[in-house]
Structure 1
Amino acid sequence: MTKILIVGMAVLCLSVGVLGFKPLLLEENCGFENQISARIMNGQAAKLGENPWMAYLKTPSGSKCAGTLINHWFVLTTAQCIPDDLAITVRLGEYNTKTKHDCENRRCQGDAEEYEVDMAFRHTKYKPSEHLNDIGLLRLERRVEYFAHIRPICIFVDERLRDHVNLLTWFTTVGWGKTADNKSSNILQKIDISRQPKELCSEIFGHSLTSDQICAGNQNGALCTGDLGGPQMRLMWHNNHDRYVQLGIASWVSDKCLNGSIFTNLLPHGHWIERVVRQFGPVQDLQRPSATIPDLPDFYQPI
């Protein structure tokens, strides 16, 4: 199988060929959870069946990252998680990385599925030294069929909500990183984190943050090694459903699991994501323009 890594991509004006209003979301069938049972981890409920968009990324060298399924063909992650040789395996529907069948309280979810990557994209302006524009996309070698435990998260491709999102004070993040006792976790972990002043992350990592980066964390909980590429998300009410929307990607975490991590802000990159998906994804799987103006979602209190 031929594999292609694209570091830069020209900005193309693609005509959808259908009159209507631009969709708010990359994929309309997105952000739905299927909770099966609960397991309490470090004070947080890591439920089997939650977060069906999570992707577990692993290379032959043993490096591990997280990512998120965003439609039938693409997984979103950081640019730094994409190896030059594209020797990377994507597991969807994963919960416990050490078990073949994931079950809790005699209830089980479907098995995880593995995918190879045939094309990858790093943002043209990615700067590794400062983690700027740390965003990438993996195109899978075959189409993903949606199941209760494998489905995409919502992605905004319209910046109308930018001012509103900038007011959000907390987020939820998940991953397979180290736990509070500094042990690696085989089971997907979940934690709520608060937006922090950018100066906090600047002090931790020694770099000033741009408007396209978010600082977030807690005194009693933070991201650790292994959480890179994971989502920063919030639950919203949209089109008569509760849905999770991804607002950031874990880009820079402390080896010491300190109380601040840097996330790539997705709203400024929504158009880039949409361009890649439209140019390199099958036409039949693209979101169509709406016949009416899309309703803006509501975020639950407290903001």
Structure 2
Amino acid sequence: MIILAVIILFFCGIFPTEKLLVHCNSWIDLANTAILPTQKQCGKVGISNRIMGGGETYIDEFPWTALLLYKNESSGELGSLCMGSLINQYYVITAAQCVSEDKIKADITLQGVRLGEWNIVTKTDCENSQSGREFCAPPPEERGIANIIIHPKFNPRKMTNDLALIRMTKKAEYTEFVSPICLPLQKGQQYLGYANSTAEISGWGENKAAARSRTKTKARVKILNLIDCVDTITRSGGYGYTYSSFLQTCAMGDGIAACKLDTGAPLMVQDTKNKITSYYLIGVFSSVEGTCELRNSPNIYTRIYPQIDWIQKVVNS
């Protein structure tokens, strides 16, 4: 399959597309050769009536969410400080600040990625259905780190292009609890997440009851005009970062915010293409105040669509 993808890319780079029997759209071709997931493999939408608003996810919701595992070299403890999203069997996308030496303390090292997690304090994740039957997931998949690719234009002082790709040492095994989210690759999807539309977020970050949620949570948020968010952030003291409506977007809900431990988490929307409704990744959580005490503070996300070419280059290599 990989050889076929290389052949397609080779010919697409040399010969005009009208002279070929293959369609030289490298994203579509690569998706069909399993380097990227097909539309039927990514962005799974649950079949039950799961209305978003805020609260605990179902055990198999958002199966692309990943926990980044860090080791405290001083204490030897292992824990999670950031999140990411699975985009194919080898790659997880996250915020650059989660893997950059400029942003991580000297005694903290990234050790791996955990996929298929739901409850971070139980060895086996189970939930009960309305009928009382117990539904359990297999153990989470843990993968080592083969390579970390930080966006070449990431600026840790301005927090622009806050994206990184993590290549895992072993491919993810797709199950009901582990599968990738779709990327906005198709025609017209550059408009996903326009101002005043709604999107969804998920993570294990701080909530009103605890510094970290035990189970994966979810919420619906509203996409806001970035300029309005920057005004609000500036009035509250600001982060000292640079903002660009092309590279970033802003989202917030009523008293709902992504929090510090959700850095790298996905901003998602549903879209229907080819009569298939799937979740698409439109942003990666980038910057917020240190805690969630100020719940009216907007959240800044790095937009995915402007970074498609960079993602393509990394995955292709």
Same fold per superposition (TM over 0.5)? yes
1:75-90 paired onto structure 2 within 5 Å = 75-84=92-101, 87-90=110-113
Give yes or no for contact 1:159–1:268 (8 Å, CA) kept in 2.
no
Q: Cα 1:193–1:41, aligned 2, differ >3 Å: closer, same or farther?
A: closer
Aligned partner of 1:59 among 60, 70, 76: 70
The residue aligned with 2:17 is none
> 1:271 offset after TM fit, Å?
1.1
The residue aligned with 1:205 is 239
> 1:87 offset after TM fit, Å?
3.2
The residue aligned with 2:200 is 172
Q: What SS class does the counterpart of residue 80 from structure 1 fall into?
A: helix
Q: Cα 1:144–1:221, aligned 2, differ >3 Å: closer, same or farther?
A: same
Q: State the alpha-carbon separation in 1 of the partners of residues 184 and 91 from structure 2.
A: 15
1:268 aligns with 2:306: yes
Aligned partner of 1:47 among 46, 58, 74: 58
Q: Cα 1:58–1:81, aligned 2, differ >3 Å: closer, same or farther?
A: same
The residue aligned with 2:290 is 255
Q: Cα 1:156–1:215, aligned 2, differ >3 Å: closer, same or farther?
A: same
The residue aligned with 2:160 is 132
> 1:266 offset after TM fit, Å?
0.3
Give yes or no for contact 1:223–1:254 (8 Å, CA) kept in 2.
no
Q: State the alpha-carbon separation in 2 of the partners of residues 136 and 159 from structure 1.
A: 24
Letter in 2 for 1:221: I
Q: State the alpha-carbon separation in 1 of the partners of residues 124 and 224 from structure 2.
A: 38
Higher relative contact order (CA 8 A, sep 6+): 1
Q: Cα 1:45–1:238, aligned 2, differ >3 Å: closer, same or farther?
A: farther
The residue aligned with 2:254 is 219
Q: What SS class does the counterpart of residue 60 from structure 2 fall into?
A: coil
Q: Cα 1:185–1:37, aligned 2, differ >3 Å: closer, same or farther?
A: farther
Q: What SS class does the counterpart of residue 113 from structure 2 fall into?
A: strand
1:138-153 paired onto structure 2 within 5 Å = 138-153=166-181
Q: Cα 1:108–1:16, aligned 2, differ >3 Å: closer, same or farther?
A: farther
Letter in 2 for 1:59: Y
Q: State the alpha-carbon separation in 2 of the partners of residues 254 and 102 from structure 1.
A: 31
1:235 aligns with 2:273: no
1:20 aligns with 2:23: yes
- CA displacement, residues 58-115 of structure 1 (integer Å, 9 cap, x when unaligned): 2102451000110011001011111549632100000111111110111112220110
> 1:130 offset after TM fit, Å?
1.7
Return 5+ residue gaps in structure 2 as ranges: 1-7, 13-21, 73-78, 102-107, 129-133
Q: State the alpha-carbon separation in 2 of the partners of residues 206 and 234 from structure 1.
A: 29
Q: What SS class does the counterpart of residue 155 from structure 1 fall into?
A: coil
The residue aligned with 1:10 is none
Q: State the alpha-carbon separation in 1 of the partners of residues 196 and 181 from structure 2.
A: 19
The aligned length equals: 265
> 1:44 offset after TM fit, Å?
3.1
The residue aligned with 1:291 is none
Q: State the alpha-carbon separation in 2 of the partners of residues 43 and 228 from structure 1.
A: 18
The residue aligned with 1:30 is 42
Q: Cα 1:33–1:197, aligned 2, differ >3 Å: closer, same or farther?
A: closer
Q: Cα 1:83–1:34, aligned 2, differ >3 Å: closer, same or farther?
A: same
- CA displacement, residues 20-55 of structure 1 (integer Å, 9 cap, x when unaligned): 0524674312111457898x9984351110011011
Give yes or no for contact 1:27–1:155 (8 Å, CA) kept in 2.
no
Q: State the alpha-carbon separation in 2 of the partners of residues 102 and 146 from structure 1.
A: 17
Task: State, as a whole percentage, how many aligned pairs show the same letter.
Answer: 30
- CA displacement, residues 178-203 of structure 1 (integer Å, 9 cap, x when unaligned): 01345311211101111123232442
TM-score (norm 1): 0.79
Q: What SS class does the counterpart of residue 88 from structure 1 fall into?
A: strand
Give yes or no for contact 2:196–2:224 (8 Å, CA) kept in 1.
no
Letter in 2 for 1:95: W
1:95-106 paired onto structure 2 within 5 Å = 95-105=118-128, 106=134
Give yes or no for contact 1:35–1:48 (8 Å, CA) kept in 2.
no
Give yes or no for contact 1:236–1:242 (8 Å, CA) kept in 2.
yes
Q: Cα 1:209–1:57, aligned 2, differ >3 Å: closer, same or farther?
A: same
Letter in 2 for 1:131: M
Q: State the alpha-carbon separation in 1 of the partners of residues 99 and 217 from structure 2.
A: 22
Higher helix proportion (structure 1 or 2): 2
Return 5+ residue gaps in structure 1 as ranges: 1-13, 280-303
